[in-house]
Amino acid sequence: MLQKGSQMLLLWALGLVWLTCGFTTVCESAMGANAASKNDCYRKTCMEIKYDIREAVCCENRLDSGAGLSCCGQQSFNPAVATCCKVEHGKATTALTQGLSETVSACCELKAYDSLNEICCQSTILAKPAPKAQCCGKEAFDEDKQMCCGRNRTILTRNSTHHQCCGDDQYDMKTQCCCEKNETLTVQPKDSSCCAEALGASEAFDEDKHMYCGRNRTILTRNSTHHQCCGDDQYDMKTQCCCEKNETLTVQPKDSSCCAEALGASGVKNKNKNRPQLNCTSLCGSSCYNPNMSRCCERNQTKARWCCTPGMTGKCDAVPTVYDPKKQVCCDGCVSEKRPWIDQCCGETPYGLAQRGVLCCNNTLYKDREDGEECSESNIPYNPAKGTICCSQFHGSPGQHCCGAEVYWPQTEICCNGHRNPKVENMHCCGVKAYNIKDPQMKCCAGTLYNLTQLGRVGHDARCCGSILQNPLDVCCSREDKEVLYTNKTGFRCCGHLYYNTSLWSCCADKLSPVHQPGQHQSQTSNESRLLSVNNLNETDLCEEMLIGTVESVSLNSTVLSSVLKICGRNGTVKPLPSPHILETLNRCDSPKLIPGKTYFFDRVNVFIDFNHDSILQSLSFIISKCYHF
Ligand SMILES: *[C@@H]1O[C@H](CO)[C@@H](O)[C@H](O)[C@H]1NC(C)=O
Ligand SMILES: *[C@@H]1O[C@H](CO)[C@@H](O)[C@H](O)[C@H]1NC(C)=O
Ligand SMILES: *[C@@H]1O[C@H](CO)[C@@H](O)[C@H](O)[C@H]1NC(C)=O
Ligand SMILES: *[C@@H]1O[C@H](CO)[C@@H](O)[C@H](O)[C@H]1NC(C)=O
Ligand SMILES: *[C@@H]1O[C@H](CO)[C@@H](O)[C@H](O)[C@H]1NC(C)=O
Ligand SMILES: *[C@@H]1O[C@H](CO)[C@@H](O)[C@H](O)[C@H]1NC(C)=O
Ligand SMILES: *[C@@H]1O[C@H](CO)[C@@H](O)[C@H](O)[C@H]1NC(C)=O
Ligand SMILES: *[C@@H]1O[C@H](CO)[C@@H](O)[C@H](O)[C@H]1NC(C)=O
Ligand SMILES: *[C@@H]1O[C@H](CO)[C@@H](O)[C@H](O)[C@H]1NC(C)=O
Ligand SMILES: *[C@@H]1O[C@H](CO)[C@@H](O)[C@H](O)[C@H]1NC(C)=O
Ligand SMILES: *[C@@H]1O[C@H](CO)[C@@H](O)[C@H](O)[C@H]1NC(C)=O
Ligand SMILES: *[C@@H]1O[C@H](CO)[C@@H](O)[C@H](O)[C@H]1NC(C)=O
């Protein structure tokens, strides 16, 4: 308790007054108000039209349907295949770049670029000349081999690691110096008079007489030993202070308001430290109290609200006060007398569980309730014997099942993410829609359903990349938690979810490292490192034989798995295999990174994960439902 009190004090001194009271009956009401997103069951309104945020998006009063969409100004877009860039020149302007996922892009003004392989220099997108590329004016250079020198931003090939810029030229730090002659920087031999002067000056630097101040390390002549840096200036600690004004450090007289604030905060701390003998270890607002005997109730987010003086109810004072938790209850900043049957809070109202006819839902106390009423999932009191509440909507028949805001009949319907669909044989959910998983012309990509016939595609070449049905020529790079779609480019390969230029980077087990000799392509013979998706296996491969197991440990040469099951989808059988199961690693760098404790699907060659389902049970059910012919 003492520790808690001093933490509170510290926060208080810093002006952060949002505190928890560390006491169950108080101040909990501040939470929970924001946790309502599930209760509105993903519904919002757009120009008075109700819509499901999983199915549509409302961009500046325009409703566009589609799953996973975001807004780019007035336009809707899918961040898996496009990037929105925003620039504020007076007013905000937005622009979309198609064909580049937001997960791997950055913006160069209004145009998006691939930040792994490209660089933005003065609003121009350039291919990186090297992994450690930097901008030099409008051009890019290789930091390892080049330098960007002078006012004219000239790119020079660095002669050696001990060469540095001197104006627009470079000089050898071992044999030369860079000195000022006639107001221009020139390279001179170390024994020249110009160098001697320049070196002499730096040797004369005396810390008692000079200081380096500010970000630019400006050399100042120290006025006295009690002068210190304040930004790029100095100040006299005896008569002045260095305080922050409008986000910059400024020197101010000690009696100024700026100094008073800066010093005041520390003053409060000291005052308390000096008074431990009063049995008073903490501050409650400006009064002192002992947390072992009383509680200080303080809460604040935007408005200051404090406990009022004991005995008062209703109105709250602007002053925090101490109250006695044995005799009083403090609800949402208001103190009232504790009674045996009124011992806790419902929002700002004190109440007790033993009271009859009251119900506390979402910190609101409802009175005159009938016996048997409960708080619904959407925090409205209702009587389950009289009806069903689905997403805040009351339906007059009790004991129903909810699907979104509606009730539904599980005997004849299937509920997909809050949407009712007719129940037909082999129906499974894909996002808010249901489809027949045995229909080879329907493809579900992470919650988005595609009708291949409509798109003029055939089942066996249809592959998903995340929620996108990918074009056969595109490339999907994936790792454990991400799948990212890219436009096919020669000289590029996948490394986890990244698509890298092989002349810049090399990849080993999902980890990129810079190539030391840019321009020399890596050998193209080896396979790429990526986790494959169960969802993209064709029926032959998926239904014949799949293994599933939990990774125990990973070494350079092999992976050990436990709890391995053999799934023969076609036969509808699952059989355990002896543990541990060892999976040989053919080439460590080309194997995707596997995490011990996680469960993966695998066959003799590849490792897969199921991006479409949230649990192993759902994946198993999917495989057997799809493969087994009853
Ligand atoms: C920098 O460029 C300007 C114009 O391009 C030129 O006049 C000037 O001589 C250059 N300065 C140096 C130090 O090269
Ligand atoms: C850098 O190397 C070039 C060519 O080798 C040479 O001409 C130049 O003098 C060198 N510059 C310095 C400052 O060492
Ligand atoms: C210094 O530069 C000025 C012009 O910038 C020139 O007139 C003068 O001759 C130069 N002096 C020397 C010593 O180079
Ligand atoms: C530091 O130097 C940079 C460039 O030389 C300049 O733009 C900036 O204003 C300087 N900052 C301060 C605080 O003087
Ligand atoms: C430091 O000394 C200079 C010259 O004596 C004076 O102008 C300046 O105000 C002094 N600065 C401070 C912060 O005392
Ligand atoms: C604070 O800084 C902003 C811009 O940085 C400026 O517009 C404003 O006038 C400054 N306010 C004061 C009080 O100096
Ligand atoms: C809970 O109460 C807060 C504040 O009174 C309100 O904004 C929110 O909508 C309520 N949540 C539900 C589910 O009724
Ligand atoms: C898919 O589209 C085709 C052509 O429009 C249509 O005939 C078929 O019924 C659709 N399939 C489903 C399951 O909606
Ligand atoms: C990418 O294109 C190259 C030729 O342009 C082709 O050889 C390669 O198979 C393509 N890759 C994919 C995944 O389609
Ligand atoms: C399924 O894919 C495998 C290769 O992964 C291929 O050998 C086989 O022919 C494919 N089967 C069908 C029916 O497309
Ligand atoms: C792992 O493979 C390397 C080279 O492929 C080999 O030298 C090493 O002995 C192997 N280690 C084990 C434990 O098999
Ligand atoms: C499936 O069952 C058939 C006959 O019952 C059997 O011949 C076949 O080997 C089984 N397939 C697998 C993969 O177990």
Atom of ligand 11 nearest to the CA of 556: 1
Q: How far is CA 547 from CA 122, 552, 558, 613, 624, in A?
A: 52, 15, 16, 17, 13
Measure CA 283 to chain center. Answer: 36
Distance CA 202, CA 161 (A): 23
The residue whose CB lies within 8 Å of the most ligand 10 atoms, and thus the one to mutate among 460, 533, 537, 538, is 538
Rounded mean pLDDT, 569-578: 94
Residue 288 confidence (pLDDT): 59
User: Of 140-149, 306-315, 508-517, where does the model show the most confidence?
Assistant: 140-149
Residue 606: pLDDT band with limits 50, 70, 90 = confident
User: Of 61-65, 332-336, 353-357, where does the model show the most confidence?
Assistant: 61-65
Atom of ligand 4 nearest to the CA of 218: 14
Give the ligand with the smallest distance to the CA of 582. Answer: 11
**33 within ligand 7 shell (Cβ under 6 A):** yes
- Of residues 251 and 459, more confidently modeled: 251
Q: Tell how far the Cα of 536 is from the centroid of ligand 10, in angstroms.
A: 11
**235 within ligand 5 shell (Cβ under 6 A):** yes
DSSP annotation of 153 reads: T
Give the ligand with the smallest distance to the CA of 215. Answer: 4
The residue whose CB lies within 8 Å of the most ligand 12 atoms, and thus the one to mutate among 571, 573, 577, 623, is 571
Q: Which parts of 404-539 are beta strand (E)? A: 406-408, 413-416, 419-422, 427-430, 433-436, 442-445, 448-451, 463-465, 468-470, 475-479, 482-486, 492-495, 498-501, 505-508, 511-514, 532-533
Atom of ligand 12 nearest to the CA of 573: 14
**488 within ligand 9 shell (Cβ under 6 A):** yes
Residue 605 confidence (pLDDT): 81
Measure CA 405 to chain center. Answer: 30
Note the pLDDT tens digit of each residue in 112-157: 999 999 999 999 999 999 998 999 989 999 988 999 888 888 899 9
Q: Whose CA is nearest to atom 6 of ligand 7?
A: 33
Specify the range with the lowest mean pLDDT, choosing from 295-309, 485-499, 592-606: 295-309
Residue 343: pLDDT band with limits 50, 70, 90 = confident
Is the distance from CB of 484 to CB of 476 less than 8 angstroms? yes
Residue 382, strand partner residues: 374
Q: Give the tokens for residue 533.
A: 């998706």
Note the pTM of the prediction, 2 decimals. Answer: 0.69
- Class (C level, CATH) for 4-35+532-627: mainly beta
**571 within ligand 12 shell (Cβ under 6 A):** yes
Residue 2: pLDDT band with limits 50, 70, 90 = very low
Residue 306 confidence (pLDDT): 47
The residue whose CB lies within 8 Å of the most ligand 2 atoms, and thus the one to mutate among 159, 161, 169, is 159
Q: Exposure of 187 by Cβ count < 10 A (0-12 exposed, 13-18 middle, 19+ buried)? A: middle
- Of residues 458 and 99, more confidently modeled: 99
What residues are in contact with ligand 11 under a 6 Å CB criterion? 556-557
* Closest to 533 (Cα-Cα) out of 525, 542, 521: 542
Q: By percentage, how much of the chain surpasses pLDDT 90?
A: 35
Domain residue limits, the chain: 4-35+532-627, 52-116, 296-366, 381-461
b/e sequence 290-318, b meaning 16+ C-beta within 10 Å = ebeebbbbbbeeeebbbbbeeeeeeebbe
Specify the range with the lowest mean pLDDT, choosing from 216-225, 345-354, 362-371: 216-225
Is the distance from CB of 259 to CB of 3 less than 8 angstroms? no
Residue 354: pLDDT band with limits 50, 70, 90 = confident
CB count in 10 Å sphere of residue 95: 17
Residue 29: pLDDT band with limits 50, 70, 90 = very low
Distance CA 247, CA 234 (A): 17
Q: Tell how far the Cα of 169 is from the centroid of ligand 2, in angstroms.
A: 10
The residue whose CB lies within 8 Å of the most ligand 5 atoms, and thus the one to mutate among 210, 219, 223, 254, is 223
